Amino acid sequence: MFFQQFKVEGLGCLSYMLGCPLAGRAIVVDPKRDIGDYLDCARTNKMKIGAIIETHVHADHVSGAMELSYQTGAPVHLGTGSPVEYDFKPISDGDEMVIGNVKIKFISTPGHTPNSISLAVTDLSRGDFVEMLLTGDLLFVGSIGRPDLAGGELLEEQIRNAYHSLNVKLAEFPDYVEVYPAHGAGSLCGAGISAKPSSTLGYERQTNPFLKLDFEAFHKELTTSTPHRPINFTHIIQTNIKGAKLLKELPSISEYKPTTCKQFLAADQSRKLIDLREATAFGGAHIPGSLNIGLAPNSATWIGNVVDPVSELLLLGNSRTEVERATTMFRRVGYDDIRGYLIGLNSWILEAEDTGFLPQITVHSLKKVLGKYGNHMVLDVRSPLEWQKGHIDGATHIPLPELIAKEIAADRDQHISVICMSGYRSNIGASILKQRGYKNVYSVIGGMSTWKAAGYEMAS
């Protein structure tokens, strides 16, 4: 049996190829939108991709099923009743698929979504017992899939479904069976997901907190500790229901000059310029009104928290390579309307255009400022869990997703230092405040990790 896991860094998305090189056939499970890895893998191992399996309609990333089906001719399979608007082959509980030495039994495991499925995989060349489970978003390593994404009206039903799927449907499988989920650390489809890419049922039964709860405690946990829902999730769900556009159908991306950039942004206030440079470069000089989402593995997650997914975008990076990388990342999470790009700020500056400035303050300078000015505001944009582990005494806590959604109680002339754990989120938050007209905004370099390393006191 051939088996390979593919990981999207930052998003925590995991997809799979299973196949039989002797038979020359393979399937892909939960493909990402950029499908080159699957085509290369199949070609290298002399297999033809003959089927595409979606364990559910995804909320956190645009599926590559349409793209892969177009490129290979392989049909798409989903659980019976899945609410998609394109042709698919329905899978019912107990259905089987055999690919050479690989046998797959499909299990209906609703909970994350009403029509979710899991795959019980047997390597017939080694025996007739199940070797692994591909659990989709039902069971993660150290956690489970959130049940709220299908809609609030279905939450109670989904919680009951999840409990039954985890404790009844998976109960028939022994401890040694390996678990391969559709997500790992970094995904917002569950809370507290481990960085390990796989596990076993036995280990999860011993250590996964959700598998130790009775239904009452399970219900309470899932109704009181649901992770934040990014603003692009609804758009991604609708995109996957309709079937994502092929990449060849998306707008072409061209280089913009300063004049055309200004005209583009001025024509519609909903248009956005995303600056991909690192925090200090953005702080030194940037195009006024631009938003700093530095190019990093988690950039796609943060654009999903900050920018409306139907916005028309321009990207500014240090090179064409950076822009292309960002384009791939942003398209994975539903940002299809990327219209163009700028390389660096040289041309903008040489044409005597105005630039913005976001001061970068060290923790040592912040400490001195707080000692001298009692009214200086420290705005901590970390998560509630990070805040609880320690923060600057007197700081105001507004997690970044909340800051994006609402105004802060401060005058536009208030001096504000924005802090996170490392300086990445603080630059996003600070650039948002600058867009809103706050005049005296600073971003703390190194964040709370540097504050702690410097030995400065922390409240809890």
Give the mean pLDDT of 330-359.
95
The Cα angle at residue 267 between residues 265 and 271, in degrees rounded to 5: 45
Give the mean pLDDT of 393-422.
93
- Can you tell me the distance from the alpha carbon of 86 to that of 57, in angstroms, rounded to the nearest whole number? 12
Determine the pLDDT at residue 189.
87
Q: Take residue 48 and report the two structure tokens written for it.
A: 């033809």
Residue 202 pLDDT > 80 = yes
Determine the pLDDT at residue 227.
75
List Cβ neighbours of 98 (8 Å cut-off, separation of 6 or more): 104, 124
- Can you tell me the distance from the alpha carbon of 432 to that of 406, in angstroms, rounded to the nearest whole number? 11
Determine the pLDDT at residue 405.
84
For 114-150, what is each residue's pLDDT tens digit?
999 999 999 999 999 999 999 999 999 999 999 998 7
For 52-90, what is each residue's pLDDT tens digit?
999 999 999 999 999 999 999 999 999 999 999 999 999
Of 173, 69, 179, residue with least CA distance to 133? 179
Of 378 and 153, the structure prediction assigns the larger pLDDT to 378
Q: Which amino acid is at 9?
A: E
Residue 224 pLDDT > 90 = no
Q: Which amino acid is at 370?
A: L
Q: Measured between alpha carbons, how far is residue 381 from residues 31, 307, 342, 443 in Å?
A: 33, 17, 29, 11
Cβ contact 98:19 at 8 Å:
no
Q: Contacts for 367-372 with beta carbons within 8 Å, 24 or more apart?
A: 367/454, 367/456, 369/417, 370/394
Give the mean pLDDT of 265-275.
94
Determine the pLDDT at residue 192.
86
The enclosing H or E element of 28 equals: strand 25-29
209 secondary structure, DSSP code: G
Determine the pLDDT at residue 397.
96
Q: Take residue 55 and report the two structure tokens written for it.
A: 């364990």
| Confidence at 34, pLDDT banded by 50, 70, 90 | very high
For 421-435, what is each residue's pLDDT tens digit?
999 999 999 999 998
Q: Kindly provide the residue ranges of all beta strands, DSSP E only, lying in 276-412, ordered along the sequence.
A: 291-292, 313-317, 338-343, 360-361, 377-380, 396-397
**Most confident of the ranges 40-44, 221-225, 410-414, 433-437:** 40-44
Determine the pLDDT at residue 260.
94
- Looking at the chain, the whole-number percentage of residues with pLDDT higher than 90 is 90
| Confidence at 45, pLDDT banded by 50, 70, 90 | very high
List Cβ neighbours of 66 (8 Å cut-off, separation of 6 or more): 76, 86, 243, 244, 245, 246
Residue 160 pLDDT > 90 = yes
What residue ranges define each of the domains in the chain, with the CATH number in brackets? 2-236 (3.60.15.10), 250-350 (3.40.250.10), 360-453 (3.40.250.10)
| Confidence at 415, pLDDT banded by 50, 70, 90 | very high
Of 192, 201, 184, residue with least CA distance to 15? 184
Q: Is 420 a catalytic residue?
A: yes
Residue 255 pLDDT > 80 = yes
- Report the C-alpha dihedral over residues 130, 198, 184, 29, rounded to 10 degrees: -40
